Amino acid sequence: MIRKWFIPAVALAVLFSVAPVWAAKSVSALPDVSLVVQHPEESDGHMHHKGKMTRKDFEAYRLEKLKEIATYFGIQTEGKTAEQLKKEVEAAKLANKDKWEAFKAEHQAKRLEHLRKIAEEHGIKTEGKTSEQLREELYLLHGGKGKRPHRLEDHDRSADDNDKQKDKQNQV
């Protein structure tokens, strides 16, 4: 009777002795929880603006814009964090609503001028059009979400090449 239970007993003993080692390995194989549950602001590789800006680049861009607004309002920017600048700019916007509206109008005028320049380069008439109308026309000129007009020639050429290759394959 001892022989009958000897092999299963040894198998169970080996199984129980290996189980804590296996469990420890599985815990170490899991990724570090602190890395997995990272806030998007803390990750440097997070891309913005269609993959062209990292979080770090975006934060630098925002800081430059805050500094631009702060200098417009006459706020010192040296040695201040982004949060301090943001609070001071918000306070200045509330205190000087007219000045804030003038800043926005100036910024919109710069954007309209930039859009006009780009539209003229593409042969679009700009007289009497708002920045939204120009932006929409430029968007449509580049094909919206579809194929871009200046890329259609390449697309047609590649379609001809594909047809030639299919003809060669059919001949073989």
Answer with the residue of higher pLDDT: 102 or 1: 102
Q: What are the tens digits of pLDDT across the range 142-168?
A: 876 554 445 455 455 555 556 666 666
The domain locations on the chain are 43-95, 97-147
Counting residues of the chain whose pLDDT is more than 90, the rounded percentage is 30
Helix/strand/coil (H, E, C) string of the chain? CHHHHHHHHHHHHHHHHHHHHHHHHHHHHCCCHHHHCCCCCCCCCCEECCCCEEHHHHHHHHHHHHHHHHHHHCCCCCCCCHHHHHHHHHHHHHHCHHHHHHHHHHHHHHHHHHHHHHHHHCCCCCCCCCHHHHHHHHHHHCCCCCCCHHHHHHHHHHHHHHHHHHHHHHHC
What is the per-residue pLDDT for 105?
94
